[in-house]
Amino acid sequence: MIALQSCAAQVPLPADLIRHPGPLHAHWIAAAEQKGFDLLARVTDRLHLALRCRCCGGVSVTRLFVLMNSQPLCRTCLEAARATRATAAGLAYLGPDPDHPQYGLFRATCGHVLRRQFEIIDRVARGETGLRCQTCFAEQERQIAARHGWTRIGPDPHGNANYHLYIHDACGHPQRIARANLAWGQCDCAGCGESWTAKPSFLYLLAIRHDGLDLLKLGYSANPLKRKKHQLGLPKTAQVTLLRRVAMPTGHIACAVEKRLHAQLRRQHPEAVVPPEDYRGILTVVSEVYRPWLRAELERRLDRIAAATAKGSTAPNAGADVQDGRTGDGGGDGSQDGGGDDRAAC
């Protein structure tokens, strides 16, 4: 044992390591050799060891427990492998995040520094996913918004990544807009615009009966009576009753409120959602049709929306249950339905 300690004492250590006195036991040395390392010394305290990698020659510090019970890692080899994978992903590896070991810092080809999980970089290197610079992406979106007369002022207040909050340059009206719609210029200002988005609209609830089938249709439209008579594709023999009509200040607000309400109903009452095959040939829509026993719940939510609107609160979740703090999934009547008279610009 003395010979082992004397030999280890002659091995030079990196300047940042402090040698700790104590013997290096033979079974420690054997375990290190079996796992690809040379045991150099005890460092810092009696429970930490300095190991030299037999592959690259780099010196790492590991706990005695790790050496005896698992495979120690060579930090030099690990960092070299990370740099290689970063290069394969089109990035330059700058080093690990000092505060979060599972993250690394990388320089993209645009020159910006990205902070990403190592697992994500591995997937990019294997071609399983892509990677974008958020700084460049935000600038691209700023330019797109500017071309259409809008300025992005923040993320979606409801947490939907597909939406951002913008302000209209012409009138200063703030508005929540789908990024895809803004990219195509399919967006009208609900403050100063002249399309359906700025005009008054309604939420409506229809009771539909045909050949013994009872349904409830909840939607929004600038003209619910027109919706009832001409836009649902109903057979002439169908009995349709307009149960409720709730006035909304603008079509934009009506669209947002309706989307949020449908998302909450699908999540909280999935058994009340009628599958499209049950009403195929009766309605041209493919969603937002409910069982008649949900009427009391729908009426209750519409009451709350009406009350909130009367008080001047036009938040999209005005009809939500207080205990439901989750945001909706953005679902509405769907593109097949057309969304009342005018869903496309929502």
**pLDDT tens digit sequence for 158-192:** 888 889 999 999 899 899 898 888 888 777 787 78
Rounded to an integer, what is the distance from CA 233 to the centroid of its chain?
A: 36
- Do 152 and 165 contact (CB within 8 A), yes or no? yes
The CA-to-CA distance between both ends of the chain, in Å, stands at: 79
Ramachandran sector of residue 74 (left: φ over 0; alpha: ψ -120 to 50; beta: rest): beta
Coil vs helix vs strand at 299 = helix
Cβ proximity of 35 and 53 under 8 Å: no
- Residue 182, pLDDT score: 86
Q: Chain centroid to CA 87: how far?
A: 27
> Rg of the chain's alpha carbons, rounded to an integer?
32
Does residue 4 carry a pLDDT above 70?
Answer: no
Rounded-to-integer distance, Cα 63 and Cα 206, Å: 70
Residue 95: the pLDDT is 95
pTM of the model: 0.51
3-class secondary-structure state, position 244 = strand
List Cβ neighbours of 178 (8 Å cut-off, separation of 6 or more): 162, 163, 187, 330, 346
Q: Average the pLDDT over 241-245 and give the result.
A: 90
pLDDT tens, position by position, 87-111:
999 999 999 999 998 999 999 999 9
Q: Half-sphere exposure (CA, 13 Å, Cβ side) for 20?
A: 11
Query: pLDDT, tens digit, for every residue of 274-312?
Result: 998 888 878 777 788 999 999 999 999 999 999 998 887
At 184-215, the pLDDT tens digits run 877 778 778 766 676 788 899 999 888 888 99
Query: In angstroms, rounded to a whole number, what is the distance separating the alpha carbons of residues 276 and 283?
Result: 9
Question: What mean pLDDT value characterizes the chain?
Answer: 83
Q: Does residue 114 sit in helix, strand or coil? A: strand
Residue 46 confidence (pLDDT) above 60: yes
* CB-facing half-sphere around the CA of 157: CA atoms within 13 A: 10
Question: What are the residues facing 53 on neighbouring strands?
Answer: 37
